Amino acid sequence: MCGIVGIVGDGIRAGRVLGECLRRLEYRGYDSVGVATISEGKIRVVKGAGKIDEVDARLCFSCLEGGVGIGHTRWATHGPPTDENAHPHVDCKGRIAVVHNGIIENYVELKSELERKGHVFRSQTDTEVVAHLIEENVSQGYEPFSAFKRSVSRLKGSYALAVLIQDTPDRIYFARKHSPLVIGIGDGRVFLASDIPAFLEYTRRVITLLDGELGYISRDTVYIERLNGEVVDPSSRVFTVDWTPESARREGYPHFMLKEIHEQPRVINDTVTGFGEDYEKGADLLHGSDTIFITAAGTSYHASLFFSLLTAKLAGRRVIPFISSEYESYAHIAGRGDVLLAVSQSGETIDTLMALRAFKARGCRVVSLTNVVGSVISRESDQAVYMKAGPEIGVAATKTFTTQLTALTWLASLVARRSGRLDEGDIRSIRERLRALPDLASEVIMKNEGWAKQMGRFMSVKSSAYYLSRGLGLPIALEGALKLKEVAYVHAEGYPAGESKHGPIALVEPGFPVIFVSIESYLEKKLLGNVEEMKARGAFTVGILPEGSELAERVEDRVIIPSRDELLLPVLSVIPLQLLAYYTAVERGADPDKPRNLAKTVTVE
């Protein structure tokens, strides 16, 4: 996901206005930023890696003159966040500038075709082919708009494009397929953006472009046509928005947390399809180590605990998990042959970074798993591995947790392959099974949101709850309890079910909610005993259970996960618990997106 803006207008300094618009879109991407304007008949481009304010302070794109310009804020998925890879991208002569959101699927073919014709590429992105493609069409004698249209017709994949062509200095060309793009009509200026908040400060009159539409804007024109050439009357499409920038960004969901829970099938799919070389190299390092340590904080720690249990089970390897802020007790036992796997959603978590540095100082090598390409932790590690959850706005991690679990399942499987416990056929089968996750996750959300809403009402009047499990389910139970605490402010504890009778059970009284998570079938009998213990004390028992679970008839309320695959169940089982925390918070009148006292990225120890 990236942010695009464009502006044409009289008497403005495009660089400054584009900067303001980009700041409104920073939630869509923040790895690198760039702006191109046309002034005195020439395209000028300023771009670089870093956050908007950093890049502006360093390169001053706000200083760019001219009344026409485009801008971009990037969230890297293909190619690291470097100055070269930042948008806009230009053609060989610097007469065409392009910003793009989406993926050009056929860029490899297009790139080699254009390279054969002598075009020189400077970046590792898929976007640059668009600039050269238009250049090629212009050089064949097509006038700019025709050249743009011919180029767009060659693109496969998803795109929102904004393009400057020096020969027509008063226009911005645009095209949309799958990725969003809107036009804002202000007084004496027209905007283009991937999202309405970009220009809400300047105008509330908006045209939403539909898939397959393209055209151009100038100071006094909005021209739109469909891919089949049919011309659209833009005047019939103008509407006035009366919402706040924040509600616009939620895309109709009441909270970011719910939006991100619903996005999980898509981002899990992005993560699974993104398993590449980085995972192989990470697995090589982990396999070659004497001891594997894994560290993280908060939700990421639960994912790490899961990895240690899964790797022990699949690969027969000992993995020592520890909470990042406790690194001083672990670093001194690490040596040169060991590897630390550092897990952080933001890649900037200070506790994890400190642990990483302490381990490096002992001569350990470091593999990192983060969601942010080029983040501090990934830069300081020997091998960075990424999940592809996209930016997460809600403070409580949801989609980043399930993509962490997905990524770590694959990493554990690759380590197991290297240790000889799994063969190539097993690995192929695991990948196939992981590919089923998005559809199953979608089914879990669709079937259980109603349950979560009802259970949330029940939970909202309780002062405490237990989340119990065994084995691979334990990290899920811990995460479920953490979510309830974080967003709904209901005290909850995750506990190994077998340990519950050594203390926690003292608190159980009639109506006390106890949620059981069952993942591994061989542990069900034992879990059943724990259910009975709790019921005997009047607890209200709830099960998050796989299909065919023996516990289904023994608990008072249940969610049945549509799978028995123990590799997939952890990801799927946490989803109802996320929904439960969300609805409990809503029922209690709390804002789940802004839990009190919490910050998205923890940068102080």
Partner 1 sequence: MKTVVLTGGRTNRMLPLTDGYPRALLSIMGKPLFMYPLTSALRATGDKAIVVTSEDVPMGEIVRSVNESGYAASVSVRVQQLPGIEGALLAAAEALEGDEWFMLVYGDVIVEEDAFRRILEVHRGEERPSVLLVPRPDVQAFGAAFVRENLVTRVVESVSGKETSYVVGGAFILPSEFFALLERGLKFFEALNYLIEKIGVYAAYWTGEWVAVDYPWDLINAFYSLTKRKCGLSIAATARVSHTAILEGCVIVDAGATIDHYAVLKGPVYVGRGAFVGKGAFVREYTSIEERAVVGAHTEVKRSVIQPQATVGSFSLITDSVMGYRSVAEPRTTVLSVLPDDYTLSRELPLQGLIGKKKKLGVFVAPHARIKAGSVVGPAVKIYREGKIEGI
3-state secondary structure of 105: coil
Shortest gap between Cβ of 344 and partner 1 (angstroms)? Answer: 26
Among 1, 14, 196, 555, binds partner 1 (CB under 8 A): 196
CA distance 241 to 235: 15
State the nearest-atom distance from the C-beta of 449 to partner 1, in Å.
Answer: 4
What would the x/- binding string for partner 1 be over residues 150 to 189, using CB under 8 A?
A: ----------------------------------------
Interaction pattern, residues 568-587, with partner 1; x per rule: CB under 8 A: --------------xx--x-
Phi/psi of residue 125, each to 5°?
Answer: -95, 165
Segment near partner 1 (CB under 8 A), from 47-55, 102-110, 217-225, 440-448?
A: 440-448
From residue 233 to residue 252, the character string flagging contacts with partner 1 as x (rule: CB under 8 A) and all else as - is ---xx-x-x-x---xx--xx
CA-CA distance, 410 to 404, in Å (whole number)?
10
CA distance 310 to 391: 27
Contacts of partner 1 in 37-96 (CB under 8 A): none
CB atoms within 10 A of CB 309: 21
Tell me, rounded to whole angstroms, the distance of Cα 183 from its chain centroid.
Answer: 26
Q: Report the distance separating Cα 509 and Cα 395, nearest Å.
A: 33
In whole angstroms, the minimum distance from the beta carbon of 239 to partner 1 comes to 6
**Cβ 515 to partner 1 shortest distance, Å:** 16
Sign of CA dihedral 430, 435, 439, 445: positive
Reduced to 3 states (helix: H, G, I; strand: E, B; else coil), residue 412 is: helix
- The residue range among 202-210, 284-292, 350-358, 379-387 that interacts with partner 1, by the rule CB under 8 A, is 202-210
At closest approach, how far in Å is the CB of 561 from partner 1? Answer: 12
* CB 267, CB 388: distance < 8 Å: yes
Residue 210 vs 361, nearer CB to partner 1: 210
Residue 197 CA to chain centroid, in angstroms?
A: 20
**Tokens at residue 76, please?**
């890297």
Closest by CA position to 194, among listed 184, 204, 186: 184
Q: Specify the residue, 53 or 246, whose C-beta has the smaller distance to partner 1.
A: 246
Q: Does 334 bind partner 1 (CB under 8 A)?
A: no
Nearer to partner 1 by Cβ, of 185 and 586: the residue is 586
| Least distance CB 462 / partner 1 (angstroms) | 11
β-pairing verdict for 182-185 and 205-208: antiparallel
- Asked if residue 529 binds partner 1 (CB under 8 A), the reply is no
Considering CB under 8 A, how many residues would be counted as binding partner 1? Answer: 39
Between CA 420 and CA 456 the distance in angstroms is: 45
Mention every residue, 6+ apart, whose C-beta is less than 8 A from residue 597: none
Q: Write the CB contacts of 26 (distance below 8 Å, at least 6 apart in sequence).
A: 3, 51, 52, 73
Q: Which is nearer to partner 1, 208 or 325 (CB)?
A: 208
Instruction: Tell me whether the omega of the peptide bond preceding residue 576 falls within 30 degrees of 0, making it cis.
Output: no
For the window 373-412, what string marks contact with partner 1 as x by the rule CB under 8 A?
----------------------------------------
442 is a contact residue toward partner 1 (CB under 8 A): yes
d(CA 306, CA 404): 10
Q: Give catalytic status of residue 2 as yes or no.
A: yes
Cβ neighbour number for residue 59 with a 10 Å cutoff: 18
> In this structure, what DSSP letter does residue 44 have?
E
Catalytic residue among 313, 447, 462, 600: 600
Position among 263, 338, 351, 392 found at the interface with partner 1 (CB under 8 A): 263
* Between 136 and 449, CB nearer to partner 1: 449
Active-site residue identified among 2, 149, 259, 388: 2
Is residue 223 a contact residue for partner 1 (CB under 8 A)? no
| Cβ closest to partner 1, residue 168 vs residue 460 | 460
Residue 468 burial by CB count (10 A; 0-12/13-18/19+): exposed, middle or buried?
buried
The yes or no reply on residue 457 touching partner 1 (CB under 8 A) is yes
Q: Are 70 and 99 within 8 A, CB to CB? A: yes
User: Applying CB under 8 A, which residues contact partner 1?
Assistant: 196, 206, 208, 210, 236-237, 239, 241, 243, 247-248, 251-255, 258, 262-263, 265-266, 442, 446-454, 457-458, 461, 511, 540, 582-583, 586
The set of catalytic residues is 2, 600
